[in-house]
Structure 1
Amino acid sequence: MRLDIRYRTRFEFDAPVRESQNELRACPINDGTQQLLNYRVTVSPPVRTLSFIDYWGTQVDHFGVTEAHSTLEVIAEASVLTRDRTEGDHPKQKPENQHDPEFRDRHLEYLARTGHTDWCAKIAEQANRLAQDAQLDPWATVLAIHEFTGEYLSYQPGATEIGVPVSEIFAKGAGVCQDFAHLAVSMCRSVGIPARYVSGYLFSTDSQIIGDPGGNPDGSITGTPDQRGEPESEPETDPDSAGDLVRVQTHAWFEAAVPGRGWLPLDPTNRLAVGRRHVKIGHGRDYDDVPPLRGVYSGPGTPRMEASVEIRRMDPAQPPTARMQPLVSHAPGTQSKGNTAQSQTARSQTAQQQQ
């Protein structure tokens, strides 16, 4: 499937700001199931962008506006070819155990508690019950956690905000896609299964798929996983038909490391296996490692934000219109440390766009 994506965020300040420094994470990755054809970033006021790969493998586009400005707009455009995952994407490798020291050392960062995944006793108890019911099989346990999260949480836009503890989300029983992902990650880690948070895009013209504005008002999803121990697949459509356009926001799901099988990606918000409609931007320990846009500004102004994502299904034979924007630097061994402000009046601006 060929998808053209247009990500846009605009800030309007009620008073001019003297400077802003920003990091954008909107570029799809290249992996075995998706191929990035083209990508470019446009910033207004016009500035040069510095692009690099952060510690987690995500492309970061850094840009700073050093002159006084009252508006800031960033547009990222990408063309991606995607395909469905197959059994071959999870080949059985050498036998491993999730408790083996070598396995744990390789995934240590995805086993630890973080600010967004600091699970409570009730979350751990529920995850342990699911693991026991799955006879402690990691693959079956991950699928059980995925199904439980999709059933237990109700999708309610505006029910939470970034920074709400996962224990509060569990107690409330409601949230948006980032909350579904954080809960699933927390439950996996609480029973010793490495898991990571994924940021990306979701294309769907199906009103039952959350991420499309035409979804059910209560966020409910019809249909259940089948009885073969596999998550429900995405609805079948013609992958080569072109012209469909959806307006959404960025999306979130999770991936769990199954010993001997690799990373298993699942979308608990929609109770789906991740497939050709999902476009991955990057992954990390939680939301804070892959926010779509984060920055700071100096000045008295208060920003008002508008954010949107448009995704259009295209004919794979049609060439992309946007040219590839090359990386200026490549730093795979260093993690981006975020922005700092020189002024005491510096304030942060974070685009909370995932739904």
Structure 2
Amino acid sequence: MIYEIRHVTTYSYDSPVSFARCSLRLEPKSGDGQQLVSHVVDIRPRPADRTARSDFFGTHIESVLIETPHRTLRIDSRSRVTISRHAPQRAAASPGWESVREAAFEANTLGAASPIGYVFASPLVPVLDLGTAYAAESFPFGRGILAGAVDLMHRIRTEFKYDPKATVISTPMQEVFEKRHGVCQDFAHAMIAGLRGLGLPAAYVSGYLRTIPPPGKPRLQGADATHAWVSVWCGEEVGWVGFDPTNDLLVENDHIVLAVGRDFSDVSPVDGVIVGSRKQKLGVAVDVLLVE
């Protein structure tokens, strides 16, 4: 499948901003059934300097320096990707979760794909007794890692309520588990916290999800959004498998990967610092178009 993605981020400021330095993680990754064909980012006002690098996780990061005073910053990212991946069946056989946990702790590499880097607590995902106990219900003794992760994903989808007003980025995980309200970021963090509490490797994935309008309804321009899900290491033979707890889906060809990390703090599409005062307003518009 071939997709074209347009991701427009607009910051509006109440007073002029004299300086801005931003980090952009807007270039889709290549690998695991996904191939980047093209990518371009237009920035207004024009930056005084742009430099690119890759972080530890292999995410492409562009650092942007803006020295022109401005009251609006517009970042227009356009990408084309091809995707061909196959998710395992929900009921497929897989190694027992205890053996996967043991294999993860026996890992002898520290690269981005090594499971050991995704077992421990991270800045936004602490290991909580509440989260571990919640996940443990899906992982009785001897259960296959795939079956356990599918069950946990399904329970989060049915027992947590999607509520954009319930949380912000800084909402503690303890509160998310107690209220069981939130958005895709919270659901991904909750699943990761539970899995890591059991000693199972789980990574945070940011990207896009193709959406299809209801029958007879037009597709609204800019109505798509960034999305988040979980990648779980299921042992050497099975490898990393994507789970979308917001939609109770195994990740296949409708999910487009931007970045992978330990939690949202590793993969924020745009972050940085500005020199200015008063309030700011953020607007984000995303289009994910199936070309072929």
Q: Which residue of 1 aligns with 2:45?
A: 45
Contact 1:52 1:59 in 2 (8 A): yes
CA–CA distance in structure 2, aligned partners of residues 252 and 19 of structure 1: 30
Q: 1:189-268 alignment to 2 at 5 Å?
A: 189-207=196-214, 247-260=223-236, 261-268=238-245
Look up the match of 1:103: 107
- Aligned residue for 1:135? 142
> Counterpart in 2 of 1:296?
273
Query: In structure 2, how many angstroms separate the alpha carbons of the residues matched to 1:119 and 1:152?
Result: 20
Once residues 115 and 125 of structure 2 are traced to their aligned partners in structure 1, the CA distance between those partners, rounded to angstroms, is: 16
- Conserved 8 A contact 2:38-2:80: yes
Q: Is the 8 A contact 1:245 1:311 kept in 2?
A: no
Q: 2 CA distance for matches of 1:161 and 1:299?
A: 23
RMSD: 2.6
Q: Secondary structure at the match of 1:248?
A: coil
Does the 8 A contact of 1:115 with 1:165 survive in 2?
Answer: no
Aligned to 2:68, the other structure's residue is in SS state coil
| Superposed structure 1 runs of 4+ greater than 6 Å apart | 90-93, 243-246
1:122 Cα deviation after fit: 2.1
Matched, 1:144 2:151: yes
CA deviations over 1:251-272 (Å, ceiling 9, x no partner): 0000011123110101110001
* Letter of the 2:59 counterpart: T
1:305 aligns with 2:282: yes
Matched, 1:188 2:199: no
**Corresponding letter in the other structure for 1:292:** P
Report deviation, 1:104: 8.0
What is the alpha-carbon distance in structure 2 between the residues aligned to residue 158 and residue 298 of structure 1?
A: 29
Q: Does the aligned pair in 1 maintain the 2:119–2:201 contact within 8 Å?
A: yes
Q: Is it true that 1:124 corresponds to 2:101 in the alignment? A: no
Cα drift, residue 206 of structure 1? 4.8
Partner of 1:175: 182
- Letter of the aligned partner of 2:132 in structure 1? A
Q: In 1, are the aligned partners of 2:24 and 2:63 still within 8 Å (CA)?
A: yes
The separation in 1 between residues aligned to 2:136 and 2:174, in whole angstroms, is: 16
2:93 and 2:146 in contact (8 A); partners too: no
List alignment gaps of at least 5 residues for structure 1: 215-242, 316-355
- Return the alpha-carbon distance in structure 2 between the equivalents of residues 135 and 148 of structure 1: 19
CA distance in 1, matches of 2:167, 2:108: 32
User: What TM-score, normalized by structure 2, do the two folds share?
Assistant: 0.88
Cα deviation digits, residues 217-245 of structure 1 (max 9, x gap): xxxxxxxxxxxxxxxxxxxxxxxxxx996
Query: Which residue identity is paired with 1:186?
Result: A
The superposition leaves residues 120-162 of structure 1 with CA deviations (integer Å, 9 ceiling, x where unpaired) of 2222112222211x63432222222111211211111221110
Where 1:108 maps in the other structure, the secondary structure is: helix
Aligned partner of residue 247 in structure 1, secondary structure = coil
3-state SS, counterpart of residue 181 of structure 1: helix
| Structure 1 residue 62, shift from structure 2 partner | 1.3
Q: What are the residue-to-residue correspondences of 1:341-352 with 2, within 5 Å?
A: none
Within 1, Cα distance between the matches of 2:108 and 2:139?
18
In structure 2, distance between residues paired with 1:311 and 1:154 = 25
1:92 CA displacement = 8.1
CA distance in 1 between counterparts of 2:100 and 2:212 reads 40
AA aligned opposite 1:19 = F
Cα deviation, 1:148-194, whole Å, max 9, x if unaligned, reads 21121111122111011111111111110001100010111111110
- Shift of the 18–283 alpha-carbon distance from structure 1 to 2, 3 Å rule, reads same
Q: Is the 8 A contact 2:25 2:270 kept in 1?
A: yes
Identity of aligned residues (%): 27
1:307 offset after TM fit, Å?
1.0
Counterpart of 1:291 in 2: which secondary structure? coil
Aligned match of 2:252? 275
Task: For 1:30, give the aligned amino acid.
Answer: S
| Cα distance change on mapping 1:206 and 1:267 into 2, 3 Å | farther
Whole-angstrom distance in 2 between the partners of 1:23 and 1:150: 32
Query: Corresponding residue for 1:69?
Result: 70
Measured in 2, the distance between the counterparts of 1:86 and 1:65 equals 42
Question: Paired residues, what number?
Answer: 279
Residues 1:150 and 1:139: Cα distance change in structure 2 (over 3 Å) = same
**Alpha-carbon spacing, 1:207–1:270, altered in 2? closer, same or farther (3 Å):** farther
User: Following TM superposition, by how much is the alpha carbon of 1:103 offset from its aligned partner in structure 2, in angstroms?
Assistant: 3.0
C-alpha distance in 2 between matches for 1:49 and 1:248: 28
Normalised to the residue count of structure 1, the TM-score between the two structures is: 0.73
